[in-house]
Amino acid sequence: MSIVELTQDTFQAAVEKPDGTLIVDFWAPWCGPCRGFAPVFEKASEAHPDVTFAKINTDVEQELAGALNIRSIPTLMVFREQVLLFSQPGALSAGQLGELLEQVKNVDMAQVHKEIADARAKGADQAQVQK
């Protein structure tokens, strides 16, 4: 599968896809570790056609990177069903990236969505008590 380039204009739509997994590599052309990680990311995209692989050039998309608190590159973010499941700076080995993707695929998303709904409800209840 090919890797898509995301921008400030396309990022939100990519995250909001109703199903599927999105893995985003935040990088810059001058970054040595980013260049070293690029072939690992490319090979993983070929091995996992059910996952959307995307890159965001932090030099070009500085505002987006800032809004997402990207402080170090490379940084990986993994979204599944509109939920951020993983965010970590640093390049991963091929084995680590493969393991991460398998873990993400095995997450019980029904349970995750339930926990998010419960947390939101609890937050709303606490806001009512404070009024």
Query: What residue type is assigned to position 107 of the chain?
Result: V
Report the run of H or E that residue 57 belongs to, with start and end: strand 51-57
Indicate the SS3 state at residue 47: helix
Tokens at 72, concatenated = 């170090």
Q: Which of 22, 23, 24, 34 is catalytic?
A: 34
Q: Which of 24, 31, 76, 92 is catalytic?
A: 31
**Annotation marks residue 92 as catalytic:** no
Distant-in-sequence, close-in-space partners of 8: CB < 8 Å, separation ≥ 6: 61, 63, 64
- Rounded to two decimals, the pTM is 0.88
* Model confidence pLDDT, tens digit, residues 93-115: 999 999 999 999 999 989 999 99
**Annotation marks residue 34 as catalytic:** yes
* Model confidence pLDDT, tens digit, residues 23-82: 999 999 999 999 999 999 999 999 999 999 999 999 999 999 999 999 999 999 999 999
Cβ atoms within 10 Å, residue 119: 10
Rounded to whole angstroms, the Cα distance separating 42 from 51 reads: 12
Distant-in-sequence, close-in-space partners of 40: CB < 8 Å, separation ≥ 6: 91, 92, 93, 94, 97
Rounded to whole angstroms, the Cα distance separating 121 from 131 reads: 16
The backbone region for 77, taken as left when phi is positive above 0, alpha when psi lies in -120 to 50, beta otherwise, is beta
